[in-house]
Amino acid sequence: MAWPTPQEYNEAIQNPQLNVADAELKNGEPELTPIGLPRPISGGFASVYKLKCGPRNWAVRCFLREVPDQQQRYAAISAHLAGARLPYTVGFAYQPEGIRSRGQWYPIVKMEWVEGEPLIEHIEGNLHRPQALLHLADKWVLMLDALRRHQIAHGDLQHGNVLVTGGELKLIDYDGMYVPGLRGRQSAEVGHRNYQHPRRTERDFGPQLDQFAGWLIHLSLIALAKDPTLWRRLGAGDESLLFRREDFQNPARSAAFQALLRSADPQVQREATLVQSLLALDLPNIPPLTAQSLRTAPAPAAPAPPPKTHGRMAPARPAPVAPPHPQPSPAEEWWRGYTHAAPPRPARATAAGLLLPPAPETPTAFQLDWLLDHLGPTVPVRFQPPVWAVRGLLLLLLVLVGTVASLAGQWLPWAGAAALLLATGLLVSRYQGLAEVEQRRALKAELFWSQTEQERLVGAIARLDRQIEEIRVSEQSELHVLQERHAQQRRAERERLGAIDQELRATLDQLAARQKELDQAEQQEAEQALRSAQQTYLRERLTGHALPNPGVLPGLTPARRQRLIAAGICTAADMEGVEITPGGWFGWRQSAVLVGPGGRRVQVKGIGPRLAEDLLAWCRRLELKYRPSMPWALAPDLQRGIEAHSTRRRWLLESQQRAAAERAERQRERVRQESAREQRAIRTRIDSLRSRTAASVQALQSERGDREREEARKRWEISQVQRRLEAYQAVTFPAFLGRLIGLR
């Protein structure tokens, strides 16, 4: 089936009252061009029209080609987006029978109209405001992170599908979107050629679809923020940003890659190198754009080791103190404001070009990665255990062993072994009693229980994800059943309406045949009446002409004339034909039979074939004389009489036709009402199912958000314990022994 062209959609959208099924859109007014025609936004997949419906504006997407599972795709996308409630998407409704063109109904998507700047126009208008472009790049990373956490891929990230409204990003056109409910299907499209990986095909359909385009657009934003002249030099704005399909197919000769690889900005160079390397990977192997992949801060310098004593007497050990902390980093200040509900700090730019946002209600994985990446350096603990007391105890032990050995020389080996065991036990006991060792042991125990709690939280989050997925799978299964019932009901309605129409056509055909028979009978009656009138006229005229006198016709004698009159042939009207019959031996003798009105036959003595034919010719000449003047149309009163005879029968037929049409319309209306009730019941069940699913998913996602918050806190606590443990790396038993014997 060929789908309507943009021109046909233009003609249909001019009269939404007649051609649009949605009650709200029926009263809408399409946006017009200066010449008064609807203004379409046409692409390779659909034509989009803006309809103003009172205070609200709607976008109506009219499809230019068919996707077999289009309704199921939009149902899955709508359900998932309703549960995710992301600020980057807009609401929409798929209508299977939305617009009528060429007498048939076709689907549309009714989507909220977003007033905003397309991405290209926004970038071009801010080329000389680098901070605005860097801020947009940060929002871009946050948006991709939110989509990835909800397992959503737009599928066609490009300048035409990204709007900037009020400084925020909005995504439109969800024809190629992936959500978990579409797992296992193929992609309906492969995206814009100037933004997609050259190896992408319809088989690539999963949460990784946006990773290459995400890197590409982010690189373009930061490159233009660092060097606005790239816009003019690389011809940006013509269905692309800085890159085109040809740059992906031959990166070695790409002017865009060469310009960015030679950039004076290290971040642009690094990211351009990375994006160029992605061209050699398959789509599933392309890493996502995250804060961790954008790290640019240098590694902290290693702390200076504590001074060695080289066996010299060390000063007295001070009381153990907690490891000193450097000045809190911006990340630590942000986290402290988040965990202690402190007033939010204003956003500040980082070295990576990212903006540190104020504390949100729930930290995202991106923000936590940023925090862990921007913590300050760890200062190690100075390990200076009190060795003089231990040395004194060891010396006293040696003196005691020597005394015992001198008194009983045969027990010397046993005394040495006992001394060694006592010394080892003394050293281990003294080492375990050190404050630094106790602090490290307490930190390890705290780390163990924190990691155990984190694993429990991760398991709870995974369990909630499985529950959410199970709910959505169950919803999709029930939706599929309900949609199949809806489709079956629609087919049954069409079949019943078709049967009614077929029965009506059969009845009307029968009545039309009877009408045709009536018309033919009326015409035949009129023709018969006209022939009768013509014959009466001719007979009246021919009756006035008596037989010709003797001698006028050869062979017509007075006697023969008298015999004709005696036989009833007195005038030209009494003779209508002649029949010649053979007679005598071998048929050589012929006789003539005169045919009169009504088929009367008479044979007159002396009238042979020759004279009979002359008499008939005389009658025909008279008939030709009067034929032009005979009537060629019925008299009005006679015509009205014939019409009056068939008027009643014609009126009965027309009444039967009207009755059949009215009866069929009542049957159709009854079928439509029954179908509408069933469809409303199915739609009510679908809406109820979606509401229940959305409520369940929302409750689970709320619980999941709480668990994510707890897990983020726990990750932060683990990172802090690990950082504190790093300060105790020098607190070891070998270090204690080395300090004891003066090697450290």
The predicted-structure confidence for 236-245, as pLDDT tens digits, reads as follows: 888 899 999 9
- pLDDT (average), residues 253-266: 91
- Please tell me the predicted confidence (pLDDT) of residue 295: 55
User: By the 8 A CB rule, do 222 and 267 touch?
Assistant: yes
| Cα-to-chain-centroid distance, residue 547 | 100
* Secondary structure of residue 571 in the 3-state scheme: strand
* Secondary structure of residue 653 in the 3-state scheme: helix
**With left for phi above 0 and alpha for psi between -120 and 50, is residue 736 left, alpha or beta?**
alpha
For tokens 């230019």, name the residue. 64
Greater pLDDT, 589 or 601:
601
Mode of pairing for the β-strands spanning 348-349 and 355-356: antiparallel
- Please tell me the predicted confidence (pLDDT) of residue 157: 94
Q: Which tens digit of pLDDT belongs to each residue from 22-60?
A: 988 988 899 888 777 888 887 667 889 999 988 889 999
Closest CA to 236 of 120, 116, 118: 120
- pLDDT (average), residues 459-482: 90
Look up residue 346 and give its DSSP letter. P
- Please tell me the predicted confidence (pLDDT) of residue 376: 52
User: By the 8 A CB rule, do 437 and 431 touch?
Assistant: yes
Greater pLDDT, 353 or 241:
241
Phi, psi of 37 (to 5 degrees): -105, 155
Q: Is the pLDDT of residue 352 over 70?
A: no
**With left for phi above 0 and alpha for psi between -120 and 50, is residue 598 left, alpha or beta?**
left
Q: Is the pLDDT of residue 593 over 60?
A: yes
Cα dihedral sign for 208, 210, 216, 219?
negative
- Please tell me the predicted confidence (pLDDT) of residue 334: 41
Closest CA to 383 of 726, 739, 721: 739
Cα(516)–Cα(520) distance, rounded to whole angstroms?
Answer: 6
- Please tell me the predicted confidence (pLDDT) of residue 312: 34
Confidence of residue 385 (pLDDT cuts 50, 70, 90): low
Closest CA to 51 of 22, 87, 90: 22
- Please tell me the predicted confidence (pLDDT) of residue 408: 55
- Please tell me the predicted confidence (pLDDT) of residue 432: 77
- Six-digit token string for 641: 């009489």
- pLDDT (average), residues 54-73: 86
Half-sphere exposure of 178 (CA within 13 A, CB side): 27
Which of 384-393, 490-499, 616-625, 686-695 is the least confident region?
Answer: 384-393
String of b and e for 361-376 (b: at least 16 CB within 10 Å)? Answer: eebbbbbbbbbbbbbe
- Please tell me the predicted confidence (pLDDT) of residue 341: 37
Q: Is the pLDDT of residue 326 over 60?
A: no
- pLDDT (average), residues 392-414: 59
- Please tell me the predicted confidence (pLDDT) of residue 519: 84
% pLDDT > 70, the chain: 79
- Please tell me the predicted confidence (pLDDT) of residue 140: 94
- pLDDT (average), residues 330-350: 41
Residues recorded for the chain: 744
Which of 249-263, 300-314, 394-408 is the least confident region?
Answer: 300-314
Q: Is the pLDDT of residue 311 over 50?
A: no
User: By the 8 A CB rule, do 566 and 600 touch?
Assistant: no
| Cα-to-chain-centroid distance, residue 1 | 20
Q: Is the pLDDT of residue 256 over 90?
A: yes
Amino acid at site 527:
E
Residues 6+ apart with CB under 8 A from 200: 190, 191, 209, 212, 283
Beta strands in 38-83 (DSSP E): 41-42, 46-53, 56-63
Task: Find the DSSP H helices in 227-360.
Answer: 230-233, 245-249, 255-261, 266-278, 330-339
Cα dihedral sign for 397, 399, 402, 407?
negative
Closest CA to 236 of 217, 210, 208: 217
- pLDDT (average), residues 469-495: 89
- Please tell me the predicted confidence (pLDDT) of residue 188: 83
For tokens 């009866």, name the residue. 663
Crossing angle, helix 365-373 and helix 130-149, to 10 degrees? 120
Confidence of residue 163 (pLDDT cuts 50, 70, 90): very high
- pLDDT (average), residues 698-712: 86
Which of 64-73, 652-661, 666-675 is the least confident region?
Answer: 64-73
Q: Which tens digit of pLDDT belongs to each residue from 536-565?
A: 888 888 898 888 888 788 888 888 889 888
pTM across the whole model: 0.44
Q: Is the pLDDT of residue 125 over 80?
A: yes
For tokens 């032990």, name the residue. 397
For tokens 């995974």, name the residue. 462
For tokens 């990773």, name the residue. 211
C-alpha distances in Å from residue 644, one per residue of 516, 640, 647: 17, 6, 5
* Secondary structure of residue 41 in the 3-state scheme: strand
Closest CA to 395 of 122, 9, 740, 677: 740
- Please tell me the predicted confidence (pLDDT) of residue 347: 38
Cα(132)–Cα(672) distance, rounded to whole angstroms?
Answer: 57
Of the ranges 382-396, 422-436, 507-521, 639-653, the best mean pLDDT one: 507-521
Q: Which tens digit of pLDDT belongs to each residue from 196-240?
A: 999 998 888 999 999 999 999 999 999 999 999 999 999 888 889
Cα(484)–Cα(482) distance, rounded to whole angstroms?
Answer: 5
Q: Is the pLDDT of residue 488 over 60?
A: yes
Greater pLDDT, 260 or 377:
260
Q: Is the pLDDT of residue 147 over 90?
A: yes
Cα(319)–Cα(317) distance, rounded to whole angstroms?
Answer: 7
- pLDDT, averaged across the chain: 80
Closest CA to 397 of 418, 411, 373: 418
- pLDDT (average), residues 658-671: 90
- Please tell me the predicted confidence (pLDDT) of residue 247: 93
- Please tell me the predicted confidence (pLDDT) of residue 44: 66
Q: For the CA atoms of 162, 165, 166, 169, what is the dihedral angle to 10 degrees?
A: -20
Phi, psi of 460 (to 5 degrees): -65, -40
Amino acid at site 493:
E
